[in-house]
Structure formats: C-alpha cells, structure tokens
Amino acid sequence: MRTTRSVVISMRLPAESGNRLKRMANRHGWTPSDASARLVEEGLRRSDFAFVDFRESPAGRQAYIQGSTLSVWEVMLLVQSYKANVSAVARHLKWPEAKVQAAINYAKAYPEEIESALSENAATDFEALKRMLPQATELVSRGAPKG
C-alpha cells in the first residue's frame, strides 16, 4: 500500500495483540509499526468499500471480494472481458451486481494497485506460475473430437 505523508499516532494494545502483531511483522519482514499501519489502512478500506476484504496470496496481501476466492483485480479482468457490463459479469459469477460494483468502486479508488496486478498477471507465463504454484498443471486442448 502506498503512503505519501505520515502522522505518528500512539496506541495501546493488549500484550497478546502486541505479540501477534510482532509475529505478523516478522513473518512478512516488516516492522511492527509498518504492520500496524497496513492493518489500520486495510481496516479503513474495509469500512469504506462494501464486500472488500484483504488476504494473503502468492503475490502478497491483496484486496478480495468477500465470500469468494477472487481478488478485486481478477474481477476487473472479467469486467474488462465483458466490456464493463456489470450484469453480465454478475451472471457469469452468479453474484449480485452489488459485489461486482464493489470491485469496480475499489478499482476506481486504487487504480495503481489494480493496474499493477493486471500488468503482473499479463506478464506471467506458465513457467513463472509453476514456480509460485508447484502443483499447477498445464492443460492443452487437442481440438474438437473427430467424428
């Protein structure tokens, strides 16, 4: 997450929460201050955008649509392929239109984040994917059966 200016805010946490925060920071190679800033930013974004949550992924923490396995950038890939037809995307995903619109709203608010993920996806070939996900199997179409 991008930050420009910052402000120092002091807060008290229960000891166990502080320990969990330090463990999370260590796991990601962040300082506890960076980890707490990220968690606060994610919490603010959750409260600003319906249906948006944040999760770990092979590419780092990303915005996801609640109740699904799709990140916002993946929904935007569908939105692009359906030429921004929200109803068509919603039918494709078997979702209410509000969930698709939530992804669009988030993408409009954080275009650099989403464009970066879309660009990274476009540049990823199968070999790069297999390094991230060793269980990946390439499926090759052999054409329509004859007969």
Q: Which pLDDT tens digit goes with each residue over 6-57?
A: 888 888 999 999 999 999 999 989 999 999 999 999 999 999 999 999 998 8
Q: 58 and 42, same structural domain?
A: no
Q: 115 and 70, same structural domain?
A: yes
Q: 87 and 29, same structural domain?
A: no
Q: 63 and 118, same structural domain?
A: yes
Domain of residue 39, residue span: 18-48
Number of domains the chain contains: 2
**Domain with 109 in it: what CATH number?**
1.10.10
Do the domain assignments include residue 64? Answer: yes
Q: What is the pTM of this model?
A: 0.79
Output the DSSP codes for 50-101: TTEEEE--TTSSEEEETTSS-BHHHHHHHHHHTTT-HHHHHHHHT--HHHHH
Q: 23 and 61, same structural domain?
A: no
Are 99 and 52 a contacting pair, CB within 8 Å? no
Q: Which pLDDT tens digit goes with each residue over 135-144?
A: 888 888 777 6
Q: Residue 2's pLDDT band (boundaries 50, 70, 90)?
A: low
Q: 88 and 42, same structural domain?
A: no
Are 63 and 55 a contacting pair, CB within 8 Å? no
